Amino acid sequence: MIPPIPILADYGISPEHGFLPDVLPLTRLPDPYYNKWEAVAANLQSLILSKRLRGVIDRLPVLSTIGLEHDAEWRRAYMLLTFFAHGYIWGGDTPQERVPPSISAPLLKICEHLEVPPVSTYAASVLWNFKPLFVDENIDDLDNLATLTTFTGSLDESWFYLVSVAIEARGGPIIPLMLEAVAAARKGDAATVTRCLQGFAERLDDLGELLHRMHEMCDPSFFYRRIRTFLAGSKNMAEAGLPNGVIWDDGTGKSDYVQYSGPSNAQSSLIQFFDIILGIEHRPTGEKADAPESDREGRMRGPTHNFIQDMRRYMPGPHARFLNDISSVANIRQFVESRAQTDRPLALAYDACLAMLRSFRDIHIAIVTRYIILPSRENRARSRSRSPEVVRSRQNLATASKNAAHKKVKGTGGTALIPFLKQARDETSEPAVEKWTQKYMNRATRSTGQNDFFLGKASEEEVVDEPVVEHGLAGTWNIDDDVGGICLY
């Protein structure tokens, strides 16, 4: 029996705004009972800057969640308390491994209600952390958005979150569009499938333009040195000062250490939806496309990389269930492959979607290089020029030590950042049905005349004499090409 096509309303997904809430996030909890939380939120940046946040949170009473009624209130409470928690953990001279009951007790109940882990996630920092400047204008317009809460109070941090908000909003209509395509494919309606794929490709091009705008208002150096600190999770943070993770002390005396990844764009349900609906497979990093079929998952089951699967644990429960259910009905790739030889417009529309998604991932790789890879190497170069004592005294909480780099830390979800992203990009073009399309998307581009004449061109494949290990965003990143992956935990 063919599974029914999921109904968006059953998962709290908006046909207009996708995984963003259909009701705008609250700018304040309406019940005065939560005024103390709102007071901390209003002064969060100043409390972090003056290093007084921990003292204020330690004195907060343990508030009940009984006053939270509508979903929007639960979401705002989760967003506030996770920001408070990350500020509490990372906002001092050394990280704090115990989060007091004033935060932990209500947060754990909120997380159970929303089906999210007790850590800041993509949902907390992006999906539920925005407001329109003008309510009568669209929220897919990046110039009409503002954040509700940030750690630093900087425009750079707000912009970093808001680019993703705009992408989610602009990409939202793709979801019902492609569900229509799934239904049409079941009926053998190639014309409708072609039209839907063409619309998908056009929207993907728009999303790439939005992602390109990251450079406009977010400075790479400021992001690397100031913002990333507070985005660190608690997984594999021994070298940053959390060898066991953190304790969410609920006041019962029975709380244990736990470890979670921090917020990551890999937690975006929208991007995973794109892969699933187009039938794109993501293998464990380093595994080639010609690996034995017995060692791989079935074609139509969607992403199989364990890091990608693990990131669904950080999505709101209904969103993760939606992705799982979509995997069982996705039929576009199979439909296109069965008609590619006789229906050229259909094949071209499908390949156009793959090309646009690959281009989107190219832009993402460029941003990661500029905001993470290059600053990390600059930081390492500066560290080498200082004495060991100076390096130790200035070590950032969210930056791995030189000792950690020599350990070549590896994790179950994969490791090196750039190899993972490049493989994910290359896998995007693999289902292309036209040979010329595959050749075009896999072409090697070479830039000339853009490097320093005297220093020469630095090779992309340059061998680094020691691995660069980075903490932050989604955990610990080992930028070491001989390992593969994205996130250590």
Query: Which residue, among 235, 276, 232, has the nearest Cα to 82 in the 3D structure?
Result: 232
Task: For the chain, give the longest Cα–Cα distance.
Answer: 71
Binding residues for heme b: 364
Q: Which residues sit in the known binding site?
A: 364
CB-CB contact of 151 with 294 (8 Å): no
Residue 30 is given by DSSP the state S
The answer to whether 332 touches 279, Cβ cutoff 8 Å, is yes
Nearest to 105 by CA among 122, 118, 92: 118
User: Cβ atoms within 10 A of the Cβ of 24, count?
Assistant: 15
Q: Who contacts 298 (Cβ-Cβ below 8 Å, separation ≥6)?
A: none
C-alpha span between 372 and 265 (Å, rounded): 14
From the list 330, 336, 333, 280, the residue with the least C-alpha distance to 6 is 330
The residues, ordered by sequence, that sit 6+ positions from 96 with a Cβ below 8 Å of its Cβ are 54, 88, 89
Closest alpha carbon to 161 in 127, 190, 209 = 127
CA 427 – CA 284 distance, rounded (Å)? 11
Residue appearing with tokens 């996705």: 330
Q: Between vectors from CA 162 to CA 157 and to CA 167, what angle results, nearest 5°?
A: 140
How remote is the C-alpha of 378 from its chain's centroid? 24
The first and second tokens of residue 138, run together, are 């669209």
Q: Calculate Rg over the CA atoms of the chain.
A: 23
